[in-house]
Amino acid sequence: MKVVIFAGGFGTRLMEETEARPKPMVEIGGKPILWHILKMFEQHGHNEFIICLGYKATYIKEYFYNYYLHNSDVTIELANNNINVHYSETESFKVTLIDTGLHTNTAGRLKRIQKYVKDETFMLTYGDGVADVDLSELIQFHKSHGRLATLTSVQVPGRFGNLEIGSNGEVDSFIEKPAGDGMWINGGFFVLEPGIFKYLENDVENIQWEKEPLGSIAKDQQLAAYKHNGFWKCMDALRDRVELEAMWSSGNAKWKTW
C-alpha cells in the first residue's frame, strides 16, 4: 500500500531548526524525522512513498538522490569519476517526490498527488509525527467498517503540572504532565479510499484537508477513528525535538519498532 506524507509546510513554530531546512529533515539521533517515519511504515511492509514537497523542496530531493552514496563505502576514481561500491547499508524505500507548491495547503497538496495513488487504497500521514501505531491492525480496522476514511485518534498528556492548593496555600498534591481532558485528537496515520478525492474536486489550493474536506467526509458518515492508546508525539516545537532526541539517546524511543 502506498504511503503519502505531507512534508511541504514552513514549520514556523520550529524556526530555530527550519530556517535552514524543512521540518521533516530536522534530525533525531542523526537521522531526519522523515526517515524515522519511513522506517515505521517499512516495518509493516510498506515501502512505497509519495512525499508532498513545498518549502525547501530541493533539500529533500537532494537527500534522497544522494542517499545511496551517503550510506555506502566507495572508492571514487577522480580522473574518470568511476565509483566502486564496496558496502551499502540502505533501505528498500521507493520514494516519489512531488513538488506540490510552496504555499499550497494540505487539501491542495493531497489533490496534486491523486494521479500517483490512482484508484488504490492508500495511507496518509504528516512528516513531523512518530508513534508506535500498529499499522497492520489499523488497516484491518479500516477494511472492517467499509467507510472512505480512517484516522488514528490519540490522547495527549497535559503540558503543565496540576496543583491542588489548600486554604492556607499549602500544596496538597502535584501531578506532573497529567492525563489529558479525555478528548481524542487527530493523530494522522490515515487509511483512505480513492473516493475521498470527490471531496477535493473544487479549488482547494488554500484549504486544509483537516477542515472542510475531512469535515464533509465525517458529515457523510464516511470517517472512522482508530483509537491508539500507545505512544504518539508530534514535533511541533523545539521542546518536542529535544524530548524526542532525549528518548532516542536513552534507548527509550518508543516509536522505534524496527
Domain ranges of the chain: 2-249
DSSP label of 251: T
Non-local CB neighbours of 221 within 8 Å, separated by 6+ positions: 147
User: Taking 80 as the threshold, does the pLDDT of residue 182 lie above it?
Assistant: no
Q: For residue 249, what is its C-alpha cell?
A: 539517546
Rg (CA), the chain: 21
Burial class (CB in 10 A: 0-12, 13-18, 19+), 16: exposed
pLDDT tens-digit map of 235-256: 999 999 999 999 999 999 999 9
Non-local CB neighbours of 207 within 8 Å, separated by 6+ positions: 105, 107, 108, 213
Q: What are phi and psi of 172, to 5 degrees?
A: -80, -30
pLDDT tens-digit map of 209-233: 999 999 999 999 999 999 999 999 9
Of the candidates 191, 186, 249, the one whose C-alpha atom is nearest the C-alpha of residue 215 is 186
- The strand pairing partners of 50, in sequence order, are 4, 96
User: Strand, helix or coil at 165?
Assistant: strand
Q: What are phi and psi of 3, to 5 degrees?
A: -120, 120
Of the candidates 198, 171, 15, the one whose C-alpha atom is nearest the C-alpha of residue 107 is 198
- The strand pairing partners of 88, in sequence order, are 72
Q: What number of CA atoms fall less than 13 Å from residue 50's CA on the CB side?
A: 19
* Domain 2-249 in this protein, CATH class: alpha beta
pLDDT tens-digit map of 64-120: 999 999 999 999 999 999 999 998 888 999 999 999 999 999 999 999 999 999 999
Q: What is the mean pLDDT of residues 165-169?
A: 70
pTM listed for this prediction: 0.90
CA–CA separation, 44 vs 54, rounded Å? 27
User: Strand, helix or coil at 134?
Assistant: coil
As a residue count, the chain comes to: 258
CA–CA separation, 197 vs 213, rounded Å? 9
Q: What is the mean pLDDT of residues 13-17?
A: 93
Non-local CB neighbours of 179 within 8 Å, separated by 6+ positions: 155, 157, 158
Q: For residue 146, what is its C-alpha cell?
A: 467499509
Of the candidates 38, 29, 90, 31, the one whose C-alpha atom is nearest the C-alpha of residue 253 is 29
Q: What number of CA atoms fall less than 13 Å from residue 234's CA on the CB side?
A: 17
Q: What is the pLDDT of residue 236?
A: 95
